[in-house]
Amino acid sequence: MQPYWSHEGGDGGYITLNGVTDDGRRSAVVSMSEARGDTKEHILEQENAASALIDHALCARDPSTP
């Protein structure tokens, strides 16, 4: 698994997750908005899905390496 740096946050109905690999060759950002009245469970599902996207984008094996 490729390590990466990340700092997530949110404010006023928005959630942002991001990351960049140690070597700076790959980065990814996911930004989402929450709907008024979203349940905590639904917001957590959104955050987990976004986190999985970031992990996949940054931790997948680099196709240029054997």
pLDDT for 63 equals 58
Pairing between β-strand 14-21 and β-strand 4-5 as defined by DSSP bridges: antiparallel
Q: What is the pTM of this model?
A: 0.72
The more confident residue out of 25 and 3 is: 25
Q: Which residues contact 2 (CB under 8 A, 6 or more apart)?
A: 21, 22, 26, 58, 59, 60, 62
Q: Which residues contact 59 (CB under 8 A, 6 or more apart)?
A: 1, 2, 4
Q: Please give the average per-residue pLDDT across 8-29, as a whole number.
A: 84
Residue 6 has pLDDT above 70, yes or no: yes
